[in-house]
Amino acid sequence: MNDPLADHLLPLARKYLWWMPPDEAVTMPDRVVAQVMNLGDYDDVLLITSVVGEAALCRVLQQAEIGQFSPKSWAYWHYRLGLAAPDHVPPMPTRTVA
């Protein structure tokens, strides 16, 4: 692999996107980042933060798809990244029925 970002994401993709081949998962870096943000252990969260930076974490959170984050992770990351004041976490993404 010649992409340095993909090189960092590959072991995380193996661990957190177990349902798809890692080489395919790293072609969707935001998905890998979201999975680590939602399910990652402390060391993996530190790694992803150092690899992509907090601005990318903010972008991933703000563009999250329905079901990518648990309520606990959603609140944590909004507070951790300074995107929400106490007791003012934005609502999670939801489906609307037309």
Ramachandran bin of 87, using left for φ above 0, alpha for ψ from -120 to 50, beta for the remaining angles: left
Residue 2: predicted pLDDT: 60
The domain segmentation of the chain, as residue ranges, is 4-80
Over residues 5-19, the pLDDT tens digits come to 888 899 999 999 999
Nearest to 51 by CA among 21, 14, 26: 26
Residue 5: predicted pLDDT: 82
60, 35 Cβ separation under 8 angstroms: no
> What DSSP character marks residue 3?
-
Q: CA 22 → CA 14, 26, 59, 73, 79, distances in Å?
A: 5, 6, 22, 23, 30
Residue 98: predicted pLDDT: 74
Cβ partners under 8 Å of residue 75, min gap 6: 84, 89
Over residues 19-76, the pLDDT tens digits come to 999 999 999 999 999 999 999 999 999 999 999 999 999 999 999 999 999 999 999 9
